[in-house]
Each structure stands twice: as C-alpha cells, then as structure tokens.
Structure 1
Amino acid sequence: MDDIAKDFQVSPPALARSARGAWNAYRTECGPTAQVSDLITNLLHLADVDGHALSGAASLRRAATDYEAEIPNHGLTCVHCGSAAITPTARQWATCRDCGQGMETGAAMKCDDWCEECLSTATTL
C-alpha cells in the first residue's frame, strides 16, 4: 500500500483510529502490559513466517518511511540556525536543509501533538 495518508487524504489521528481494533485485540491477547512496539515487532515476525510480499525487515523500513512522511512537521525549527527547512528522517532524527546540521526530531519540534494548526491542514475521515 502506498502512503495511505496521502492516498486517502486522511490525517494520522484517523489512521490511528483504523488500527484501534488490531491494538485492542492484541492487548486482549497479551494483557495490559503490552506495548505498541510489541505488536509492531510481532507483525514483522508474522510477515516473515507467513511469507508476505514484503519481509519483516522490508515492512519495517517501509513503515518507518511512511510514518515519517505522515507525522506533522509544521513547527520544526533547526536548533542550530533557526531555519524551518527541516526534513525528518528515520529513527527520530531530522536534518536541516539550510545548514546541513542534524538534530533529534523532538528537540526541533515546537508542536508535539495535533494542535489546531495541524488539524486544520489535514483532511479527516
């Protein structure tokens, strides 16, 4: 599936709602201490065991790329030069296109949640 948020023009909160059933079923099976990362890891193993078109490793890379493209990035500001020309990359790292410096995405974020500006620019279901 290509970048689902762009294909269907839905916001990440709407995409999260679409995963709620899988998460609820997983927590019922594994208990209240289950983490989302546990479910993700088990789904990657499932891709390998069941022989899905994308292996677990390929699915992880694809999911990380899709996730980074779908999260809000307004309000990111370079901690080195103040530029808003930030490109989030994998593993919670961002690179400034103006000065070339890297930083943790969290350090560059002014908006760490779906504020009204984020929601106003996203199309929801």
Structure 2
Amino acid sequence: MLVGPMASISGATVGDEVFLATGSRVFNGARIGARSEVRINAVVHLRTVLPEGSTVPIAWVAVGEPAQILSPDRHDDIWAIQQGLDFPGYVFGLDRSTPDLMVQLTERYARHLARHADDRPVG
C-alpha cells in the first residue's frame, strides 16, 4: 500500500510516499516520515517516530522516539522501550495497575469496534 500526502491511519501520521507492505502494523500515535518503508509483517509501535527515509525490515519492530529498529528476537529490548510508551494509558485511558486491566481494555476495544458494525463499503 502506497500512502499519499500525509494520510492518517488509526491515529497515526504517515508521510508522503510511504510504503506499508502486507501485514505491516502501525499503532496509534506513530509518525512515519516521508519515503519510509515498513516491510512485510513489520511493526511501527505506539507513539514511535520513524524518520524520513527509514526502513523497517521484514518482521522487525520500530519502537520509541527516536525509533529503534529491532529484530523480533530482541523481545526484552523492545519491551524495555515499549513499556514506557504506556499502551493501556495512551489508547484506552487505563492505568497499567488496574486490577482487571485486560477485562477493561477488552470491553473498551469491543465498544469501539461495535461502532463499525453497520459500516458498508462505499462506491
């Protein structure tokens, strides 16, 4: 998928001439600089800032600001950065210490998705 002038995808900002390959994931608050490539099954994580002309290799993870681009076998390094980005707080307004965090997160996510239950293709 080639994205044109400063498109917004799921709360992310994607610059001009960015290539998002099949299976790539771009999380909320991410900013991808112009002429970057996010290759097959690669991830640009929550609140990550990817500079212009960057490449996230197949199945690798970009995380943080500035982005560190790490291979998927570096879970501990990815988590060390990712934890501070506060996914539950940033996306759902939930504190990570909430006793039933996953229940609350899942319920909020389901309510959000339910708003699209009657969506239909246009054109």
More helix by share: 1
More strand by share: 2
TM-score (norm 2): 0.32
Q: Larger Rg: 1 or 2?
A: 1
Instruction: Identify which of structures 1 and 2 has the higher relative contact order when contacts are C-alpha pairs closer than 8 Å and 6+ apart.
Output: 1
